[in-house]
Structure 1
Amino acid sequence: MIRGVIFDLDGTLTRPVLDFIAIRQEIGFPLGPPHLLARIETLCGVEQERAWAILCRHEERACQIAELNEGGAALFAYLEQERMPRAVVTRNASANARRTLERLGLRCDPVIGRDSGLPVKPSPEPVLHICRHWALKPAEVLMVGDYQDDVFAGRAAGAKCAYLQNGKPAAPDLPADYCISRLDELIEILSASGGGMPCSRRKKK
């Protein structure tokens, strides 16, 4: 039985806003791995401060223009009705994430950002931290995201995982339990506590 839901923020709860290509270009990073945060951590002194400032500026702007993703209003109405706890795990700064949620009228607790003192996704630690906070087993929790690291984090923690496609079909080897095209598709999955259509059976668009 799924008793709690953890969401990624940008591209999952909100429509994709952050332009990571533009952020990398402004900082002066090439495209490709490692992840943006890992690259910033390799910098020192003034260069690192400048990179963090650029990223935070983009995140603050994203907060101001964020829009709820398709199906989000219906899903959160259902979660409120069922009194199902929900949380957010994001690589954004925690304060920006909270401001975004407040602006959209979404109640989530806890909100775990990159500055929360836990390893970032794909580490399972944020998911496990939330499970402990809720006093739930990982198997009773659903992790929802639009990026492979969301799924990897949830899977490593032992949670169920739903991949939000956003027009990008899941890779064949992505270990997601469900693939969805919009957030309100989760209502049926949650109502059935795992009875939704598995990722491997969903037709790619």
Structure 2
Amino acid sequence: MIKGIIFDKDGTLFDFNATWGAWARTMLEAETAHAPALFAPLADALGYDTVANRFRPESVVIASTAGETAEVIRTILPDVPKDVLLGRMNAAAKQVPQVEAVPLVAYFDGLRALGLRLGIATNDAESPARTHLARAGVAAHFDFIAGYDSGHGGKPAPGQLLAFCDHTELRPETCLMVGDSTHDLHAGRAAGMRTVGVLTGPAPADELQPFADVVLPDIGAIPDWLAAENLIIR
């Protein structure tokens, strides 16, 4: 039986490109305002399609930590100190309107009603993650929230997921990891959890399927799948 679910955030709770696509162009333009010729190389380094204003499926941004993304930016803008860049990125990220994959308050009310323990494991920093969850009205639904900077590492390593298990006193085999990238699914497998891929991020189904127990259109399909697999009691 499944007793706990830990979710990725971007691309899972929130549609990735609908949330970050347009914002990213503004960020790239701001970072290269002093040297507009660097806009295209920076966009290319980050896997950003400047015509469609979307991240390409192979973009490093999709699954990397904010710190790793900052290091990629610094390959094009080496004079920007990493701590300054990260501070600017985190402050800006807090302001980005999040496009919910499904209506989140009703969704997490339903999962709580099933008696499930809930967590967040994101490669975003913890502070903007908490801001996004609070703005969506769901921060209080979670027993555990971890960013890459929360002391448990980042995905695809399983540290955040195992910390969730420690915090909730649940065994990994009774938990589900849900995410939109192979980093999420690798972390889930490494932690000994079942894994669910969702298609609200840039990764296509065939990329996720080898590492997922199931690939679903979005998180809204999870309760029915759990019931069909006899993994929860409704």
Give the TM-score category using the shorter length.
0.7 to 0.9
Distance between the aligned counterparts of 2:154 and 2:99, measured in 1? 24
Structure ranking higher on relative contact order (CA contacts 8 Å, 6+ apart): 2
Distance between the aligned counterparts of 1:148 and 1:126, measured in 2? 16
1:105 to 115, 118, 137: 137
| 1:144-171 alpha-carbon deviations (Å, 9 max, x no partner) | 1111111111111110110011273231
- 1:2–1:194 Cα contact (<8 Å) kept: no
Cα distance, 1:136 vs. partner? 1.0
Instruction: Find the residue that maps to 2:20 and give its secondary structure.
Output: coil
1:40 paired residue number: 70
Identity of aligned residues (%): 27
1:191 paired residue number: 227
1:92 correspondence with 2:94: no
Distance between the aligned counterparts of 2:60 and 2:28, measured in 1? 11
| 1:134-193 alpha-carbon deviations (Å, 9 max, x no partner) | 111111100111111111111111101100112732316631001110222101123345
TM-score (norm 1): 0.80
Instruction: Find the residue that maps to 1:144 and give its secondary structure.
Output: strand
- 1:7–1:143 Cα contact (<8 Å) kept: yes
Q: Structure 1 unaligned runs (5+)?
A: 197-205
Query: 1:142–1:103: structure 2 CA closer, same or farther, 3 Å change rule?
Result: same
2:20 paired residue number: 18
- 1:170–1:179 Cα contact (<8 Å) kept: no
TM-score (norm 2): 0.71
Greater Rg over alpha carbons, structure: 2
1:169 paired residue number: 205
When structure 1 is superposed on structure 2, of 33-42 and 97-106 the one drifting more is: 33-42
Q: Structure 2 unaligned runs (5+)?
A: 33-37, 47-58
Cα distance, 1:103 vs. partner? 1.7
2:84 paired residue number: 50
2:101 paired residue number: 69
Aligned length: 194
